[in-house]
Amino acid sequence: MEYRTLGQSGLAVSKLALGTMYFGNETPEAEAFDIMDTFVEAGGTLIDTADVYVGGMAEQVIGRWFADRPREITDHVVLATKARYPMGDDVNAQGLSRRHLQRALDASLERLGVETIDLYQLHGTDPLTPMEETLAFLDDAVRAGKIHHIGLSNFNGWEIQRMASTAQAMNLTVPSALQPQYNLLSREIEWEIVPAARHNGMGLLPWSPLAGGLLTGKYERNSQPAADTRAGSDNPMWQWTIAEFAKDDRDWAVIDAVREIADQTGATASQVALAWLMARPGVTAPICGARTPAHIQDNLGAAELTLDAEPMARLNDLSAPVAVNSYPYGNFGEAMRTRYVDRAEHAVGRVVADGADAPLGTRDD
């Protein structure tokens, strides 16, 4: 297992993270213990959870695992959790206010059975709470020894920049991680969210790296999902996931390519998709939400897989995000941000002259 520092912090974590959203529900406690044992034995360190996962049960399962394992094992774990979403019926039992975050943090510490959380993440934005209030609370928690590092999740590019700039201006703790959805079928964050995170020294911890299972190779185009898969279940959440990701022929072309590259390399489709993501700029560690011990065993194989230039280029090309309307992200919008240093023509003029589909230059042309 290789390790990477989390953004610009000094915290080293494994290049693959373990997600625990199913612990205590789809994944029984005994299997969850096996998954964490397998992950740590393979050199994995970063375990990610959230207070809202199974209404707090996932954190409780992790807490019991910590209590049941010797210190020399649990000391290797970098523990991450999140807060923001409702944990009760009270009007203040949600959001990023000082009141809610203080109660949420104390409750997570109790469920996890630890004194300090290594990475405490804001699970989403809160338009009603001033960022200054949220950042001040997080900084207080760091100074009190309850948190080591802070992170963001599901923030837009401008929100990331504002959080970082506000923290710097107020001399408060700056977020060192961002947890966004990111995979071969969902790359639109590369337009603004990834640049904002990288500019501010935040390491990326992508969730849904396998696109809800679509990149595992178990689904076929124009066929009914098997009953033992998520999409084949009667759970509307997973049915929505398949409909959301596999929208068109382009998505299925990516899925087919992942399968073919897996066959050529002797890897599994999951390992190919994860290896591609681990090699993306700014990515610290994809978060793999393993439901069974077999899943984590398969995912761990990706940590040892490096794709050659040709399959990487093929996947990059097939999965490149596409702007349906060309402004501000398509060819015309891209022209507004392009400048040449080795020739006189201006990018916008080139687009107008050659057509909207003309290839555009960059500073590397």
Count: domains in the chain: 2
Q: Establish whether 327 is a catalytic residue.
A: no
- Is residue 201 located within the same domain as residue 127? yes
- Is residue 143 located within the same domain as residue 161? yes
Q: Count Cβ atoms below 10 Å from residue 356 Cβ, excluding itself.
A: 11
pLDDT for 201-220, tens place per residue? 999 999 999 998 999 998 88
Are 141 and 118 in contact, with CB atoms under 8 Å apart? no
Are 16 and 49 in contact, with CB atoms under 8 Å apart? no
| % of residues, the chain, pLDDT over 90 | 78
Catalytic residue among 22, 53, 182, 329: 53
Residue 120 lies in domain? 3-319
Q: What are residue 148's phi and psi, to 5 degrees?
A: -95, -45
pLDDT for 171-204, tens place per residue? 999 999 999 999 999 999 999 999 999 999 999 9
Q: Which of 28-37, 48-57, 130-139, 320-329 has the lowest mean pLDDT?
A: 320-329
pLDDT for the residue 170: 98
- Is residue 337 located within the same domain as residue 284? no
Q: What does 20-67 look like in DSSP terms, one character per residue?
A: -TTBTTTB-HHHHHHHHHHHHHTT--EEE--TTGGGGHHHHHHHHHHH
Are 82 and 50 in contact, with CB atoms under 8 Å apart? yes
Torsion of CA 70, 207, 108, 166, to 10 degrees: 120
pLDDT for the residue 239: 60
pLDDT for 224-269, tens place per residue? 555 555 555 566 665 666 666 566 789 999 999 999 999 999 999 9
- Is residue 244 located within the same domain as residue 196? yes
* C-alpha to C-alpha distance for 236 and 185, rounded to whole angstroms: 20
pLDDT for the residue 338: 74
pLDDT for the residue 48: 98
pTM above 0.85, yes or no: yes
Domain final residue, candidates 301, 319, 337: 319
- Is residue 112 located within the same domain as residue 67? yes
Tokens of residue 55, six digits = 């209404």
pLDDT for the residue 246: 62
- Is residue 336 located within the same domain as residue 243? no
* C-alpha to C-alpha distance for 205 and 45, rounded to whole angstroms: 13
Domain final residue, candidates 319, 335, 353: 319
* C-alpha to C-alpha distance for 264 and 88, rounded to whole angstroms: 50
